[in-house]
Amino acid sequence: MKGRVVGAETVTVTKNEIMAGLNKPEDFILAVVEVDGESTTPRYVRKPFKTEPDFAATSVNYNLRELLATATEAL
């Protein structure tokens, strides 16, 4: 699960999270929660990753709007 303030442009995902999503794509769901003060909106992205990160990468920044374009609001 990743929490981001409403209006954020990116979300950082660790290499381990990406590899888990690529290794078991049917079992992995990335939850992104947009936070606006006391209000929260969870969104769920199935199969969010297309490629492995570079060997030396420890994390990758993703464009939040592009990532959420395929999200659903409920499981």
What is the pLDDT at residue 74? Answer: 74
What is the pLDDT at residue 45? Answer: 97
Under-50 pLDDT residues of the chain: none
Q: Are strands 2-5 and 29-36 parallel, antiparallel or unpaired?
A: parallel
Is pTM beyond 0.85? Reply is: yes
54: which residues sit within 8 A by CB, 6+ positions away?
A: none
Beta bridge partners of residue 42, listed in sequence order: 33
Rounded to whole angstroms, how far apart are CA atoms 20 and 72? 20
Structure tokens at 44: 């769920």
Rounded to whole angstroms, how far apart are CA atoms 36 and 20? 29
What is the pLDDT at residue 73? Answer: 85
